[in-house]
Amino acid sequence: MKLKLTGKELRAIGYPEGPVVSIAMNVMEKNYKHHTKEEAMEILKAVLAAPIEYANDAVLALIAQQLIVKEKTATAETPLNETGIEYNVFGAKHIEEGALLQMQTAAKLPVAVAGALMPDAHHGYGLPIGGVLATDNAIIPYAVGVDIGCRMCLSIFAINPDELKKREANFQRELVANTLFGAGREFSERSGHEVLDRTEFKDIHFLQSLQHKALKQLGSSGSGNHFVEFGKVEITDADNAMNLPVGNYVGLLSHSGSRGLGANIANHYTQIAMQKTVLPKEAKHLAWLGLDTEEGLEYWLAMNLAGDYASACHHTIHAKIAKAIGEKPLAMVENHHNFAWKELYEGKEVIVHRKGATPAGKDVLGIIPGSMTAPGFIVKGKGETASINSASHGAGRKMSRSKALANITQEALRKELKDHGVKLIGGGLDEAPFAYKDIHEVMQCQTTLVDVLGKFYPAIVQMDGTDPRKHRKRATVMDGE
């Protein structure tokens, strides 16, 4: 049966009245006629959430262009500086040219004060993933990214890691029962949290319509490179702020962000920024909002709300699973990326954007993951000014999703999982370990930025199980975006 959509269905998921509805129906029915209605609606939701990312898509650009707020022709283009600010690059030999070029462009912004590029960096939208940029009284929505406040959260339990194999079925069951993966997925039984009662949902008009969706998605993880996994924690530094003796434990590690709430905030305020600050083509996604403007202040409040919501999602997941296994964590480590902070740099307050990079100020704790078979590292920041108190947020991709799908086989993935004794629930070839850089090489490039307190070795990993090939026409958001 061929795909058939109605205007009512599109408006129900948030499409505005106007030509975009009929255009979207025609595009989908012509180009996705063999997809199910559910698959088509997920694609349409993705375009609606972040139309800028589909502006150059061979098929979906017709829809995206209708959704993007047109720049006012009366607004004069703001030129870039001829020479950019100086910035430090960590692990340059592991970073693709596209990311280096993007950082060079960001360094030429008139509002740029300082910058750095982390060893896990790769090409993104606007600021490269792994990019750190400090600005003067300016917030850049796309230097924060689409998945606002995306983070890592690790709970450490007083359980012998041998139990992960002995009771693998039990641990696997609790992962599946207490987490939810997939684009647009929502819970039927909902959890409550004080973040959902925040006044920003009432005070900022744009956020009012997002509150209900945030409620339904609280505690979910989404798709892409997001995961929830059990593994072995190995504490190697006796002088750790967690006050844990050197030894082995069971850890629960999660990675996800602010779901639909963050994506909608990013898209909305990026459009406003691009309208207010018109930049040359190569820098257009780096449009900023002044923090002394109504729109800039609104975004700042909405961004912080999304970050707190992402944290609430993790705490909900961890609380549910801890209760299910009958344990209380001895310690928890949490850090986030895709965010902006007000910090002091050379005695002056600046806005530090970390897109796919994490805070590594003096004694700040964090967890830097590898891949589904490579270890993650529990770290303590050294407060290195050269990196603007930052470190990497993971290993970083060395293959795009499409390249990974074209070059990695299921057989190779199965062998890799077996060799490392990892049980995978869901997950696709686009997230196979081969698609990522060597985490050991990445860590070697940032020994001046962090001290290693311990490691996390994945054992039972859950990710989105949707076949990524169904969405090959869709521009998938890379990690760190």
Strands 450-462, 423-425: pairing is parallel
Two tokens, residue 114? 């300082």
| Mean pLDDT value across the chain | 92
Tell the residue number behind the tokens 């434990």, with chain if given: 249
- Residue-wise pLDDT for 283-334, tens only, equals 999 999 999 999 999 999 999 999 999 999 999 999 999 999 999 999 999 9
- Residue-wise pLDDT for 124-135, tens only, equals 888 999 999 999
- Residue-wise pLDDT for 84-140, tens only, equals 999 999 999 999 999 999 999 999 999 999 999 999 999 988 899 999 999 999 999
Low-confidence ranges of the chain (pLDDT < 50): 70-73, 471-480
Cα separation of 211 and 209, whole Å?
6
The model's pTM = 0.84
pLDDT of amino acid 481: 53
41 and 73 in contact (C-beta within 8 Å)? no
Q: Looking at this protein, which amino acid is placed at residue 62?
A: L
pLDDT of amino acid 7: 87
Cα separation of 459 and 229, whole Å?
7
pLDDT of amino acid 71: 40
The 3-state secondary structure of the chain, one letter per residue: CCCCCCHHHHHHCCCCCCHHHHHHHHHHHHHCCCCCHHHHHHHHHHHHHCHHHHCCCCCCHHHHHHHCCCCCCCCCECCCCCCCCCEEECCHHHCCHHHHHHHHHHCCCCCEEEEEEEEEEECCCCCCEEEEEEECCEECHHHHCCCCCCEEEEEEECCCCCHHHHCHHHHHHHHHHHCCECCCCCCCCCCCCHHHHCCHHHHCHHHHCCHHHHHHHCCCCECCCCEEEEEEEEECCCCCCCCCCCEEEEEEEEEECCHHHHHHHHHHHHHHHHHHCECCHHHHHHCCEECCCHHHHHHHHHHHHHHHHHHHHHHHHHHHHHHHHCCCCCEEEEEECCEEEEEEECCEEEEEEEECEEECCCCCEEEECCCCCCCEEEEEECCCHHHCCEEECCCCECCCHHHHHHHCCHHHHHHHHHHCCCEEECCCHHHCHHHECCHHHHHHCCCCCEEEEEEEEEEEEECCCCCHHHHCCCCCCCCCC
Cα separation of 423 and 433, whole Å?
14
pLDDT of amino acid 210: 94
Cα separation of 347 and 325, whole Å?
48
Cα separation of 25 and 41, whole Å?
10
Cα separation of 265 and 256, whole Å?
16
CA 380 to chain centre: 21
- CA-wise closest residue to 392 among 50, 97, 99: 99
- Residue-wise pLDDT for 25-40, tens only, equals 989 999 998 899 999 9
Strands 129-135, 138-139: pairing is unpaired
**Percentage above 90 pLDDT, the chain:** 79
pLDDT of amino acid 14: 85
pLDDT of amino acid 93: 93
421 and 346 in contact (C-beta within 8 Å)? no
Cα separation of 332 and 323, whole Å?
15
